[in-house]
Structure 1
Amino acid sequence: MLSESKVNILLVDDQPENLLALEAILEDLGQNLVRAMSGEAALRHLLHQDFAVILLDVQMPNMDGFEVASLIRSRERSRETPIIFLTAFSTTEQFMFRGYALGAVDYLIKPIATNVLKSKVAVFIELFRKTEALRQQTAALQQQTAQLETINTELQMSEERFRSLSTCSPVGVFVTETSGRCVYTNPRFQALCGLAEEACQNWLQAVHADDQPEAAATWSDYLQGGQEYSLEFRLSTPAAAPLWGHIRAARMLSDQGKFLGHVGTIEDITERKQAEAANARIIREQAAREEAEAANRMKDEFIAILSHELRTPLNAILGWTHLIRSRPCNESTLANALEIIERNAHSQAKLIEDILDVSQIVRGKLQLERHPVDLAAVANAALDTVRSLAEAKGITLVLQFDPNCGLEVVGDAMRLQQVIWNLLTNAVKFTPEQGRIEVHVSAVEAAADSEADQTPQQWAQVQVIDTGIGIEPEFLPYVFERFRQADSTTTRSHGGLGLGLAIVRHLVEQHQGAIQADSPGRNQGSTFTVRLPLQLGQSPAQPSRPSTVTPATTSLEGVQVLVVDDDADTLAFLSCLLRTEGAQVTAAASAIEALEILNSETPAVLLCDISMPDMDGYTLMHKLRTQMSDPQAQIPAIALTAHARLSDQQQALAAGFQRHLAKPIEPRMLVQAITQVMRP
């Protein structure tokens, strides 16, 4: 059992020896003895502490015991504290009456009898303890009573709140037994579901007939599993259109954790559902609009690329034609010029053929002839037409097929050759020098495309496998789409319209075949696989290549000109033309090479192509104007480009060029433009 706490006893005497004597007498009681050597000190102790008894000397300077007692009794906190007067004088009745009037409980005459003092003080200690215990019990009882009253009040308010909230709630509320049977529904529930409280046995009665099976199944799972329930269903109401309700439910537990049943809500979310439907419609419309805008952008890019691809060979053709017609040429120069003209003419013819093919495909006018075709022979013929292109880049071409395997399909031989030729020229274009291209022709067995017919079917398969730059995974799904190229910027490294593979896919599908592109990724090569039923077929087209260029006239005598163009034919043509005019020409095959030249030379005029790999003409001009010092930064510049739209001209002038000349370049106009930009 814990020992009782000590109580305070106040000893008041102006003589230290008297205080020591009192402490010695009362020490055995084991209480907390507090000293005060004046009335003022005693009153200070009484401000913060309660005492079981006060032993108060009567005769003290400044303030005697009676005055101190009077002040003690005047304070609420110490009014009932017992006071025993201590005095060294014999008392008269008047003296004693005055003390008792001030609240004294006793008088003790000094010297004080030890046993008497101890017994009297002990009585007051016990009385103090009992009084304190009774006070604490009373306070505790009062606190409990107050708490009970508060709890009752809160319960009443809670019930009133629940009734009020339930009645006024904007959501339907239902309460069920542990089995799931409804025992309470609020007015909003009844209004939403069209069910009176007494008629509602289960909230499932309110669910639309089409949603009943799912609602019943999920509610059954909830009753067995006990997880929180939250689902959306249509409600069957008298209204013409069904409402949508969001049903939530949870288990009810008592404070002791006992399962009491379920409480749930039904919220009308019809407006939200209508808004979601409207939003979905807007998103679909926006997606369609964005798709249309993307298609328009692709067409715009295609137009720009088409302009570039047509004007670049035209530049070489017209340039060399002008030189041949206007100046005598030796046999070597004339032969080189004719070869370049022919090569670029073939390139333009191929572009035009592709455009016409796409036009026919779009209009559904592309017609096929149907004859038995030896696919291996077609592949071999296509291979022969691209062999010179491959040899020019040091690319190894390999044809692999089983001569004993019959690979006869029915189709258009020319169109089938066009398919294989397009795939081969594509592979040559995207395969670096010293690469390898393999053509595998074989018969394979695979399931038919029809889900109803799973019988294995014999196919003729052509695979074109290269060690080229590969195809990025994100571009693979679009590789056969019209107007789509992995790189359509002015820095693209490979030409073309982005039509060849779209034409190939259409031709293959016209032969009831299929084509697939595969690539492990960037710089890991690619594989194009064509499958044709061993009863059908298709055919090829003709390739093309770039060009080179030569001479002109004289009127730029001694003018230093830097010519920048990644196309070798155009670079040769411009260099020859300008030298014929008397200019001193420095040729650069890239913007990076041009920057290196400009670091050490200051030409009078810069002629620069726009579409170049790695760095385009706009970037070169920006670096020249902003990063180089005078006089290089002030060199007059002319943009020579196959991008010939008005916006291209504006962009060139904004980039820092003084003039914009569209390819093909007319020599007289070029000389005139150089003369004009050199004027102060």
Structure 2
Amino acid sequence: MATESKVNILLVDDQPENLLALEAILNELGANLVKAASGEEALRCLLYQDFAVILLDVQMPQMDGFEVATLIRQRQRSRETPIIFLTAFSTSEQFMFKGYALGAVDYLMKPLAANVLKSKISVFIELFKKTEALKQKTAALQQQTARLAAINAELQHSEERFRRLSDCSPLGVFVTNPAGQCVYTNPRFLSICEFSSNLETDQTWLQTVHADDRDQAATTWSTYLQNQQEYSQEFRFQLRDGSIRWVHIRSARMLSEEGKFLGHVGTIEDVTGRRQAEAASAQIMREQVARQEAEVANRMKDEFIAILSHELRTPLNSMLGWSRLLRYRKCDEKTIARAIETIERNATSQAKLIEDILDVSQIVRGKLRLNCLPVDLAPIIHAALETVQPLAAAKAIDLQSFIDETTTFQVMGDPVRLQQVAWNLLTNAIKFTPERGKVEIRLEQVEASIPSVPASPAAPFPCAQIQVIDTGIGISPEFLPHVFDRFRQADSTITRTHGGLGLGLAIVRYLVEQHRGTVYVESAGIGQGTTFTIKIPLLQADNQETRGNEQGHLLKVPATSPLHNVQVFVVDDDEDTRGFLRFLLQNEGAIVTTAASAAETLSKLTSFQPAVLLCDISMPDMDGYTLMHKIRTQLPQPQAHILAIALTAHAGPSTQEQAVAAGFQKYVPKPIEPDTLIQEIVRLVTPEECELIKTPY
């Protein structure tokens, strides 16, 4: 505890013995007695110290007590200091009044009464102590008041600064209480939300959110109020005039210095400009991508047209050349056989090109349909192998197959299209495999995840896996992702080694996907060979149908055709086609009658009854559909019930359906395969064959 400082008392007297006497009397009061032998010395003491009381002798040389008192009272610091005059000479009232006029508190005569003096001085000591204590308290209070005033001024300045910042802020600002009710908003917030200045506490930015975003906004905001994570979301605001504004809402929790939760503070920013800029940038990017894709598509189209022209003209060159040689020059039988073989091979090549183009056209228009039924893949693979065997033999390619004959690979599919898939992959492998290379096809059962199967995509499903593996030229890593694209070839230059339009693999992918399967290609690179893998879901045991010939296998016409003496009526406006069909059918023993128009057909049918009518669909004046309708509705029996097969170059399921609806029993696309046409005629004219062979139409 701090020791209390002594009170100062000033003793002024020119006589040393008087000072000693005063010191002896007052010493026991415990005060600090300061002695001065003259008025000048007393004034010097007052410069540096404060005194509880001054005992001042009146009669002093040079400067008496009254003069000293006058000077003491003139100083601000000592103006209120009590003065007791001491005198031994005059008790005149005049001197006493003068002393009191100068502010003296008492006027004592010498010799002094010790007890009286100590009593009077004690009072002044206590009074000084209390006054000093009061001064200290007052000073402390003044300091505290000054500090509070400074704090209030700083708070007022800070509040004013915050208000100016808030009013001028480009961001909307809002503050909520712990319950999430809005208690403060700045003008920008009100402007963005289109609220009035008298904002009610239950109004929030959620009321302005677009109806389509409101549920999401309410859910995310409610979740935020229940946890401690920061909030950052963008929503659309719908204004009163119907316009849309994008805003970014941010919010965080407010905590006191003690960690007490006070509520939330948040900002709301109008980001419509940024959104529009992003949308414009995205649109520009899309346009650039579209332009690049269009340029690539145009380049691919030009390349495809050039390739198509080459692929169509090349076989025409051989066909027209050999046909003119056969017409204008005499050739031996060996040369004739070679010419016919060349013409047939190139015509088959052209027919395949046209079929691919038509297939792709139907794929693009979404018109390619499948005639699906339970079918075993093994016979289809064997049939495709038989078809491509001559191509492999011509290049001395080792063509091998690995098929588990003990397993039934039954799938739901179109047998013709599945055979087309296998044929395309095999011919593609043979085309790109050098002489004396190796091509193999494998058929096995695997467990795989097929997304199109109505089950869990992650669950394995029994599938038939077809792999065509070759030791050919391989595929570069750059071109590998584009193998199944339409009109895309790794080499599209005029110096390319291998022919084709680049459509076969695109058709393969489409057909496989239509069978709910997957196809992909693997290659280690140029010169490393290629492996194509197809996976098609197998039929489950309770869905399989294994009755006889319902597998959809391609059936061959018996070696001895039962067309002997069968009357066949051929209707086609193309003379070459009529000549070809007449020659073909007569060689099978049929009796052939021809007509070049629908009118001629109706005229001839009134006089005889053919067994089968082969009718072209596209004819001038009257097409085949109209002709068949007139035959069925206007001719008498038995002509009205004649068996009829439609012949048309307009290949496709829709044409087939239209032909059957018009009254035709069968449909054969052009170019006509002789064996296929004869087989269809046999099916119509031979009742027992109709019972044994079931082909879906």
For Structure 1 versus Structure 2, the TM-score category normalised by the shorter chain is: 0.3 to 0.5
Kindly indicate whether structure 1 or structure 2 has the higher relative contact order, using CA contacts under 8 Å at least 6 residues apart: 1
Q: TM-score, normalised by structure 2?
A: 0.45
Greater radius of gyration (CA) = 2
